Every structure is written in C-alpha cells, then in structure tokens.
Structure 1
Amino acid sequence: MSRAVARRAIPPFLRLRSTVCDDDHWMGRLDHKDWLAPNEVLKIFANIRDAALITSVFKKACSRRDYKPSEALYSLMIDRLAGARRFSDVEELLARARLEKFRFSDEFFYRLIKMYGNVANHPDKAMETLYAMPSYNSWPSTKTFNYVLHMLVCKRQYEVVHEVYSSAPRLGVTLDTCCFNILVKGLCQFGKFGEAISLLDEMPKQECLPNVTTYSTLMHFLCQNGQVDEAFELFKRMRKEEIEADTVVYNILISGFCREGRVTVAFDLFKSMSSEGCYPNSGTYQVLLDGLVASGMFVEAKGLVGMMSAEGLRPSFSSYKLLIDGLCSVNCLDDAHHVLKQMVNHGFVPRMGTWTKLLTSVC
C-alpha cells in the first residue's frame, strides 16, 4: 500500500491527533537544556505543521538564553505564515523585530515586499514596507525600489507611482534606466504619452540614458494608439542617438504601418533591416505577410512566403488560405498551385473551401 493511500485510510480525527503529536514533538525540542544550534532551530520551525503555532513557538525559542533569532528564521517563519495567509502574525513578528532593533538585509525586504504584492495582494503594504526600511536600519536597493514601481504599474495604481518615484532621494535610491522604463510604461498605459516622451529628456539629468527598451515601449503604445508617425519619429531620434534598433522595434513599426494600410512603407522598412544589422524573425514575416495579403499585394506576399521557407519558417494556416484565395482572385493560378504545395509540405491540410476556390478558378 502506498503512503498516500495509507494516509487516506486513516480516519480524520486520528490524522489530526498525529499532526498535534508531531508538533508537540518538535516544540518539545525547545525544552532541552542542551545548547541549540541555529540550524537545529530552523529545522524545528520547518517541521511545525500548524502555522498557527509559529508565533508562540517563536516566543518560546527567544526565551532561551542560548538563542537569538536570525534573518534566516524570520524568513522561514514569514514564508510559512504567508502560505497559511496569516498576515496579522507576520505583522506581529515584524513589530517585535523593529522593537528589538533587528537589522534585516535588503534581500529580506525584497522577498517581504513580493509577498505583500503577490501573495497577499496588498500593494499598499508593499509600499509601506519600502518606506519603513530605514526604521529597520536597512536601505532599499535599486532592485527593490524598481520592483515596487513595477508592481504598481502592473496593478495600474498610477496615482501612487509618482509618489514612490519621488521618494527615491530620501530612501537613498540611485535611479537607473530600468526605473525610467517602468515609468514610461506606466505613463503610456495611463495615456500620458507627452509626459512619457518627456522622460527621454529627464533621464540624462538623472545620469541615466534611454536604451532600446525605453524606445520600443514608447513606440509600442504609440502604434497601438494609432500614432505611427510619432513612433517613427522616435525611431529616427533613436538612430541619431546611436542606439541600435532590434527586431522588436522593427516588428512594432511594421505592425503599426500594416494596421494603417501603409504596407509599402512597412515592406520598405522590412527590406532595410538586414542593412542595419538586424534580422527578421517569424513574427516580422507573419505581420508583414498578413499586411500584404490584406492590401491585395498577393504576388509580393507569395515572394515573402518563399523567403520564409528559405529561412525554415512557415506562415499560419489562415495566411496560406487567404493568400491562395487572393492569387485565385487575380487569376495567378500557377502561383496559387505553388503556394498550395508549400502549404501541404508544411503539414497543413487544405479545407474544402480552398479546393473549391482553386477548382472554380481553373474551370
């Protein structure tokens, strides 16, 4: 009989009694008069099954003259309490640590803030914890500071993002490019494109420089908002600043131009990529192919499919179907038949509508 089956066979009241006995066993270890090593105390807390007992066991451990709590123990207890969603017990532990002037590392607070943001879903407590770090004789790193900013942007709490950003000097945080990239994303999501773009001028004042992610984030939201020309102006500004565009930047612009029906501009941009030392990926080809087909540029689309095959890439089933329909509509039957063979070679099975279109065009 497996251990899982055997455990299910035990009546619930006996299982509860077993759990209590196990916890009593581990708690009893604290009554030993022998010296307790720090690792031994960690083992005791790791084996306590009932998270409700953790704070009382902690008080018992601290009452021993031969033991002082460590950061590792606080981390273990908080992980266990958070897993049991006993956040009030977490607050009690932290209040005791502050009273005893316990000094935690930045890494401890980083994990604690993540717990408040992700597990407890209390972004306000995460902010409070960031602000409270100096009272524990600890100062946040840029990584911890940026995590709080990123969390607030992800939760769309834009009204407090600037408040956290403004707290950097009093918290002793050195701002970096990642911080500004988070702010750019937040402002764009909030629809404040002008303020987001103005950060490009603010960054050098803070001894930071925009990077390709800064620009690609701005371009993405501008294109989504139908401001493709403004995004392209940023592309030209980026090149003047000698920041190399990557495939993500080209994909954003190509997709933006295609959505506006300016497929010729998108195609020219695509052809310029390799000369700039940047190479298209499957996303680049797919977006451009869909744009060419939607604009009725079927011959160019057929040539692009050939380029994709040479690169070991394949279009989507929908793209193949629409391209074959389009080539048939302009009476390019040889090209349609060629694309059909490529479609089959790539593992797609044409449906009845595709065969009907081909036969109707031939007849």
Structure 2
Amino acid sequence: MAGLDFHKALKTAKKTCPSSTSSYESLNSTIFKTLNNSISPPLPTPATSAVTTAETASLLSNLTSNKLNLIISDPNVETSVCLRIFDFLCKNQSLLSFKPDLHANLTLICRLIKSRKFDDAENLLKNVAVDQNYRYPFSSLGNWAENYCKESKIITKLMNMMLKVYSDHQMFDMAYTAFDYMKNNGIQIDERTCTVHLYALISSDQVGLSLKFFQEMADTGIEVSVFSLTVMVNGLCSIGELKMARKLVEEMTGREVKPNIVTFNTLVDACAKRWSFEELDLVLILMKKEGIEFNDSTYKFLIDGYSSFGKIEEAERLVLEMHDKGFNVNRYLYLSVIKGYFRLKNVKGGVSLFNKMQDRGLSPNIDMFRSLIDDLCKIEEMETAEDLVIKMQKKGVELDEVIFNTLMADYRKSS
C-alpha cells in the first residue's frame, strides 16, 4: 500500500512542521501519483492527487533541505517509505532547489543499515563516496558519523561498507584511509571486507600494496582467515613470487592460520606450471608437515607439470598412485603422460602405460586413439600406430576419416 505509506509519512512530517501543511499534502499527492503508475492494480487515487505538471514543479521547487531531513530522520516514518521518497526526489532533481545533502544521505543510509537493507544502503553510499557529482571527502563522512551516529554497530557497518565501496571502485587510497580511521578509532574491522579489498588490489595488479595491506591486517590483530591467506598466495603466485608465497604460508602457520588444500594447490599449480621443481619440493614438504593430503586437483597439477617438463616416470607414478588410492582417474591424465612418453620417443613406456590403463578398467575412446596415432605418426612409429588401429577396431571403434588421412599422409611421406 505505497500510497497509504506515503500519506502516513507526509502526515507525520506535517505534524512536525505545521506551517507547511499544504506543501506536504501536495507533495504527498505528487509522489503518490508517480508511484501509483508502477502498481498493478492501481490503488484508489486520493482526491488531493489531482495536481498539474506546473503545480508539481512548483511544489518540488519549494521543498527545502530542512523539510526533507525532517522526513528522513522521523522514526515514525517507515524506512522503506523514506527510501522511496528519497529515490523519487533524486530522480526529479532538476525540479528541486537543492541537492539532498550529506546529512540526508547518511541519515537514510544508517536507517537502511539498521533495517538490514544493506544493498540499498550501499547503493546510496556510492553517491556520496564515489559519484563525482555528489562525492564528499572521507573526512566529512567520518565527521558526520562521529557527530550524528551514536550506535557503535551502525558506525562499524557504515565504515566497513565505505571500505568496500572504495575498493569496488578502485579508490585504493580512500580505502586505506577508511581502514586507518577504523584502526585508530577502535572500530571493528570486518575481515571479509578486508578480503574484498585484497582481491580488488590483486585484480588491479597492485600485488605489492595487497601484501602490505595483508601484513597490516595481521599486525592490527584482525583474525585473518585461510581464505584471505589463499587470496594473497594466489596474488603472489600470479606474479611469480613463489618463494615469497611459500614463506607467507609458513609465517601465517606460526600465527595459527592453518592453510588448507586450496592454499597448497594454488602453490603446487604455480610451481608445476613454471617448472620450479626445487620450490615445489619445499611446498610438498610443508604440505606434509601440515598434514594436508593430496586431492585429485593436487595430482592433476603435479602430473601436468611433470609431463610437460619431461619428468614422465614421476608423472606415471602419480597416475598409478591415484588409482591405488581410489581417486577417479580420467583418460586425460593417462593421455597426458602417454603423449609425454611419445614426445620423448619412448614408445615402449607409452604403450606400457596405455596397457596399464586398460588393465585398471579404463578403456580408450576414439579421441584418445586419434591423438595417440597422430603422435606416433609424427615420430614415424608407423608400426606401433598400426597396432593401435588394430586394437581400436577390436574394441569396436571404427576407423574414421581423420585417422585414415593421418595414416595415409605419413605413409606417403615415408614412401
């Protein structure tokens, strides 16, 4: 019942400012008519709503900042009604003689926070913290909170929300100012908000700043989560600082922040892809020390890294170990290692693993046959390629055009 809500809101405001009765009644009807257009079925239109466009413009132009603040701050007016009034006025800004000031914005934001309407509060906060037409310096926002907001929980949420808004819009200097303000004024800092800031810094290639911020988080006494640690480790790995990432994990374990499998997999993947096997060995030692077991992703990262580098026997050992431990080993992992053998022209090793795969109950499909036959043809191992074709046909897999053309092309080259 939007119209009734507005009528109630503006009647309350009328009682507060009795000299403005006619203005509020007319404003009530103007807003009612506007909102009523979006309601289906329409609400009964009050008699006072029949105002002309000229009257609407006149009424809005006579509205003052003080009158708006009285409505926004009145506890008898529902927060949702205040938000709709405020939104209506902002959309008709050209008809007003003023802009809703910082006091009106932050009063409504705090009311929205108290009502747990956090998304609406954050959207409004963007106007005064980020939007170039309305932006206020952080000092003004902080001063307002000190002078007008008396509830510590609301101040805490407001300041953390500011930090998030600044981070989301890459205003990193202002984000740090908000963080520093909270730290110096004993305002509880939400670790999840700090993680958002870390992620924003890393996404903007500001890994150095993110590491500095992370260290300050830890030094400030914020209870750093393993998620924040993993975000930081991922950022360091993305720029090749593998040793620094591992050292950070070691440091945080000393602060009782226990890394999990995701943290270690981030390190393992980075080391394996960069063929940094000396560092990888240290990571695996640390992983064992912390009692973290490999999962299927750990194996995959290691197998891919060893295979691409040429450490094929180590890659094969891990594939078979996965099977022995009951992991679901797919054809891709076998294919990666077998192709690695063929790449090194160790055909015997590749064929041996191909047979072991089948012994463990995993049958090759047409794509696998096609890929391996192509590799064998490239290294001119035509006899082995023919053997694979025979095995393929015995399994009921038909010789397709791609494999046939591959064989014929290599026969022509060798003739």
Q: In the TM superposition, what are the counterparts of 1:159-238 in structure 2 within 5 Å?
A: 159-168=208-217, 171-238=220-287
Which whole-Å CA distance do the structure 1 matches of 2:366 and 2:285 have between them? Answer: 31
Cα distance, 1:233–1:342 mapped onto 2, change above 3 Å:
farther
1:37 pairs with 67, 73, 78, which one? 78
- Cα deviation for residue 79 of structure 1 reads 1.3
Of 102-111 and 35-44, the range deviating more from structure 2 = 102-111
Which whole-Å CA distance do the structure 2 matches of 1:289 and 1:83 have between them? Answer: 59
Q: Does 1:50 align with 2:91?
A: yes
- Correspondence for 2:163: 113
1:335 pairs with 371, 377, 388, which one? 388
- Cα deviation for residue 247 of structure 1 reads 1.4
Of 253-262 and 108-117, the range deviating more from structure 2 = 108-117
1:319 pairs with 371, 374, 394, which one? 371
Which whole-Å CA distance do the structure 1 matches of 2:323 and 2:357 have between them? Answer: 18
- Correspondence for 1:100: 148
Q: Please, what TM-score do these two structures have when normalized by structure 1?
A: 0.70
Which whole-Å CA distance do the structure 2 matches of 1:67 and 1:125 have between them? Answer: 19
Which whole-Å CA distance do the structure 2 matches of 1:343 and 1:52 have between them? Answer: 74
Which whole-Å CA distance do the structure 2 matches of 1:202 and 1:213 have between them? Answer: 17
- Correspondence for 1:12: none
- Cα deviation for residue 244 of structure 1 reads 0.9
Residues 14-49 of structure 1, C-alpha deviation per residue, up to 9 Å, x if partnerless?
Answer: xxx99x97x959x89959899522221022234456
Which whole-Å CA distance do the structure 2 matches of 1:237 and 1:32 have between them? Answer: 61
Which whole-Å CA distance do the structure 1 matches of 2:188 and 2:378 have between them? Answer: 63
Q: Does 1:150 align with 2:199?
A: yes
Contact kept, 8 Å, 1:215 with 1:234, in 2: the verdict is: yes
Residues 47-97 of structure 1, C-alpha deviation per residue, up to 9 Å, x if partnerless?
Answer: 456396899335685899x99844267863641574896156353673433
The higher radius of gyration belongs to 2
- Correspondence for 2:8: none
Q: Does 1:124 align with 2:143?
A: no
CA-based RMSD: 4.9
SS at 1:139's partner residue? coil
Cα distance, 1:233–1:78 mapped onto 2, change above 3 Å:
closer
Aligned AA (1:91): Y
Q: Does 1:354 align with 2:397?
A: no
SS at 2:257's partner residue? coil
Residues 137-176 of structure 1, C-alpha deviation per residue, up to 9 Å, x if partnerless?
Answer: 6311222222222332332323323431332366441123
Cα distance, 1:253–1:90 mapped onto 2, change above 3 Å:
same
SS at 2:268's partner residue? helix
Contact kept, 8 Å, 2:264 with 2:287, in 1: the verdict is: yes
Which whole-Å CA distance do the structure 2 matches of 1:255 and 1:148 have between them? Answer: 33
Cα distance, 1:284–1:117 mapped onto 2, change above 3 Å:
farther
SS at 1:181's partner residue? helix
- Cα deviation for residue 245 of structure 1 reads 0.7
Aligned AA (2:323): S
Gaps of 5+ in 2: 1-52
SS at 1:145's partner residue? helix
Which whole-Å CA distance do the structure 1 matches of 2:368 and 2:135 have between them? Answer: 51
Cα distance, 1:362–1:158 mapped onto 2, change above 3 Å:
closer
Aligned AA (1:97): A
Cα distance, 1:242–1:219 mapped onto 2, change above 3 Å:
same
SS at 2:329's partner residue? coil
Aligned AA (2:148): E
Cα distance, 1:230–1:75 mapped onto 2, change above 3 Å:
closer
Which whole-Å CA distance do the structure 2 matches of 1:353 and 1:342 have between them? Answer: 21
Which whole-Å CA distance do the structure 2 matches of 1:307 and 1:80 have between them? Answer: 64
Residues 249-285 of structure 1, C-alpha deviation per residue, up to 9 Å, x if partnerless?
Answer: 1111111111211212111111111333443356634
Which whole-Å CA distance do the structure 2 matches of 1:73 and 1:97 have between them? Answer: 19
Which whole-Å CA distance do the structure 2 matches of 1:173 and 1:338 have between them? Answer: 62
Residues 196-255 of structure 1, C-alpha deviation per residue, up to 9 Å, x if partnerless?
Answer: 323343223211223222322222222233222431453244235431111121111111
Q: Percent identity?
A: 17
Q: Please, what TM-score do these two structures have when normalized by structure 2?
A: 0.63
Cα distance, 1:311–1:61 mapped onto 2, change above 3 Å:
farther
Contact kept, 8 Å, 1:98 with 1:135, in 2: the verdict is: no
Gaps of 5+ in 1: 1-16
Q: Does 1:79 align with 2:108?
A: no
Contact kept, 8 Å, 1:261 with 1:291, in 2: the verdict is: yes
